[in-house]
C-alpha cells in the first residue's frame, strides 16, 4: 500500500514537472471599425473594416524547456477579416506566421518557416504605423518600406536573433526561393540592430527582395504579401524615440529603391494597379522613395491617450519627383486591459506624380485608391485582445 502511494506521488510530481517545463497558449487580437472614406474609385464610402490599426489574428504559441537554458519554441498564427470571416492570406492555414526554432538564453534564437522580417521586428516598433496608436491605415505610401505592423510575411526563411547585450539586439535572416536552378530568384535577406536603454530606443536595418511576387518563393502574389512587383527592392531604415513622462516622441527615416517596377499592390483592392489596371496607368522603370516620419504619443491618463504622426515621402520616378503628405491623428480609450476603443483620422495628398499613373492617386493602406490626388479616412473602432 505504501509502495503504491509512493509511486502515485512520484508519478504526479513528474507530470506536474513536465507540465511546468512546456506550455501552449491560444491567443489573438480582434480589430474592427466603421470607416468613412471621402473617395474610393471616385465615390465616398462607408464600410465595416477589419485590421485598420492592427492585424486581426488568432494563433497558438508554445515552448518546451530542454534544459541548460535551451528551449524549443513555435508559433502558428492566422490572420482573418472579421467582417466576413475570410482569410487575410488567401489559401493559407497559418498565413500570418508559421515557424519553429530553438532559443538559447546565452546564444540567441534560431527559427525556421514563414516569418516577419528582421527590419519589421526592430525598426517597425519605432513608427506610428506599426503600433495600435497609429496602425496599418497610416502606413507610408504603398507600404513601400515594410514598416507597418506585420503586413509582409516571408516564406522559406531562416532567422537569427541575438540575446540583448548592454541594450543591443541584432537580427539577420535569409529566405530561400526554393526553386531548383533559380536560387537567386524571389529570395530575400536582411539585417537589423536596435539599442534600448532607459527612455531611449534606436534601431536601423536593411532589407532586400529579388523578383518578389513570382512563383512560390520568399514573397508571393498568391497570398497578397508582395507590395511591389519588381526586379529588386532594397530598403534602408533608421529611427529612434525618446520617452519623457507620459510622452513618447519619435523620428524615422527610410529609403526604398525599387528597380524595374511592374506594378503596385493595394491590399484594399485585391488587384495589381499599374500592371493589370489600365485606368490607373502602368508603371515601368525604377522608383525611389524617401520617407521622413515624426510621431508622438501622449498618455492623458493610464486609460486615455492621444497620438499623431506626419510623414513626408519624396519620390523619384522617370524624371518626375512625386511627393506624398500623410498625416494621422488618433485618440484611444481603454475600458479594460484587453478592450479599447479608438477614433482615428488619416489624410494623404500626392503631388508631382506622372498624370494618370498609379502614383498620382492617393491610396491609404488597407483601402481602395482615390480617383484624385487626395484621400481622407475616419475610423471609429474597437480592439479586443485574448
Domain ranges of the chain: 39-385
Q: Is 340 helix (H, G, I), strand (E, B) or coil?
A: strand
Q: What is the pLDDT of residue 280?
A: 44
Q: Is 280 helix (H, G, I), strand (E, B) or coil?
A: helix
Give the tens place of pLDDT for each residue, 224-236. Answer: 777 888 889 999 9
- The C-alpha R_g of the chain, in whole angstroms, comes to 22
Confidence of residue 266 (pLDDT cuts 50, 70, 90): low
Instruction: For residues 14-34, give the mean pLDDT.
Output: 77
Q: What is the pLDDT of residue 240?
A: 98
Q: How many CA atoms does the CB half-sphere of 164 hold within 13 Å?
A: 7
13 has a pLDDT exceeding 50: no
Confidence of residue 10 (pLDDT cuts 50, 70, 90): very low
Confidence of residue 267 (pLDDT cuts 50, 70, 90): low
Q: How far is CA 290 from the centre of its chain?
A: 18
Confidence of residue 37 (pLDDT cuts 50, 70, 90): very high
Give the tens place of pLDDT for each residue, 268-281. Answer: 555 555 544 444 45
**Whether the Cβ atoms of residue 96 and residue 68 lie closer than 8 Å to each other:** no
222 has a pLDDT exceeding 90: no
Considering the segment(s) 39-385 as one domain, its CATH architecture is Beta Barrel (2.40)
Strands (E), 284-361: 287-299, 304-317, 323-334, 339-351
23 has a pLDDT exceeding 80: yes
Between residues 180 and 360, the one the model is more confident about: 360
Q: 195 pairs with which residues across the strands?
A: 168, 202
284 has a pLDDT exceeding 80: no
Q: What is the pLDDT of residue 185?
A: 86
Distance, CA of 122 to CA of 195 (rounded, Å) = 9
Cell numbers linked to 152: 509582409
Q: 88 pairs with which residues across the strands?
A: none
Confidence of residue 85 (pLDDT cuts 50, 70, 90): confident
Between residues 134 and 181, the one the model is more confident about: 134
Distance, CA of 336 to CA of 340 (rounded, Å) = 7
Q: What is the pLDDT of residue 357?
A: 79
Residue percentage of the chain with pLDDT more than 70: 89
Residue-averaged pLDDT of the chain: 88
Q: What is the pLDDT of residue 14?
A: 40
116 has a pLDDT exceeding 90: yes
Amino acid at each position: 500500500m505504501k509502495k503504491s502511494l509512493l509511486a502515485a506521488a512520484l508519478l504526479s510530481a513528474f507530470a506536474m514537472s513536465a507540465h511546468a517545463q512546456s506550455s501552449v497558449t491560444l491567443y489573438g487580437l480582434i480589430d474592427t471599425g466603421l470607416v468613412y472614406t471621402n473617395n474610393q474609385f471616385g465615390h465616398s464610402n462607408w464600410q465595416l473594416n477589419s485590421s485598420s490599426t492592427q492585424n486581426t489574428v488568432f494563433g497558438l504559441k508554445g515552448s518546451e524547456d530542454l534544459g541548460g537554458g535551451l528551449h524549443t519554441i513555435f508559433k502558428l498564427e492566422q490572420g482573418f477579416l472579421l467582417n466576413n470571416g475570410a482569410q487575410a492570406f488567401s489559401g493559407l492555414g497559418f498565413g500570418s506566421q508559421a515557424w519553429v526554432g530553438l532559443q538559447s538564453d546565452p546564444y540567441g534564437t534560431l527559427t525556421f518557416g514563414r516569418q516577419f522580417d528582421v527590419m519589421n521586428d526592430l525598426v517597425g516598433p519605432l513608427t506610428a504605423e506599426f503600433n495600435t496608436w497609429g496602425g496599418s491605415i497610416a502606413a507610408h505610401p504603398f507600404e513601400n518600406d515594410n514598416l507597418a505592423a506585420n503586413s509582409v510575411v516571408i516564406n522559406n526563411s531562416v532567422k537569427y536573433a541575438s540575446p540583448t547585450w548592454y541594450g543591443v539586439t541584432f537580427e539577420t535572416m535569409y529566405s530561400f526561393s526554393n526553386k531548383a536552378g533559380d536560387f537567386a530568384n524571389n529570395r530575400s535577406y536582411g539585417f537589423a540592430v536596435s539599442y534600448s536603454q532607459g527612455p531611449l530606443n534606436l534601431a536601423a536595418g536593411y532589407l532586400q527582395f529579388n523578383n518578389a511576387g513570382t512563383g512560390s518563393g520568399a514573397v508571393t502574389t498568391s497570398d497578397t504579401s508582395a507590395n511591389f512587383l519588381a526586379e529588386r527592392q532594397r530598403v534602408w531604415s533608421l529611427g529612434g524615440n525618446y520617452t519623457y513622462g507620459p510622452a513618447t516622441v519619435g523620428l524615422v527615416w527610410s529609403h526604398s529603391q525599387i528597380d524595374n517596377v511592374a506594378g503596385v499592390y493595394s491590399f484594399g483592392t485585391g488587384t495589381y494597379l499599374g500592371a493589370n489596371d489600365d485606368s490607373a496607368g502602368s508603371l515601368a522603370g525604377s522608383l525611389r522613395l524617401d520617407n521622413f516620419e515624426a510621431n508622438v504619443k501622449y498618455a492623458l491618463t493610464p486609460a486615455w491617450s492621444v497620438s499623431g504622426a506626419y510623414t513626408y515621402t519624396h519620390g523619384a520616378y522617370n524624371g518626375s519627383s512625386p511627393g506624398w503628405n500623410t498625416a494621422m491623428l488618433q485618440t484611444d480609450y481603454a475600458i479594460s486591459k484587453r478592450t479599447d476603443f479608438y477614433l482615428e483620422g488619416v489624410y494623404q495628398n500626392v503631388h508631382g506624380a506622372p498624370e494618370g499613373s498609379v502614383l498620382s492617386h492617393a491610396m491609404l493602406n488597407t483601402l481602395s485608391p482615390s480617383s484624385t490626388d487626395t484621400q481622407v479616412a475616419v475610423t471609429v473602432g474597437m480592439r479586443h485582445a485574448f
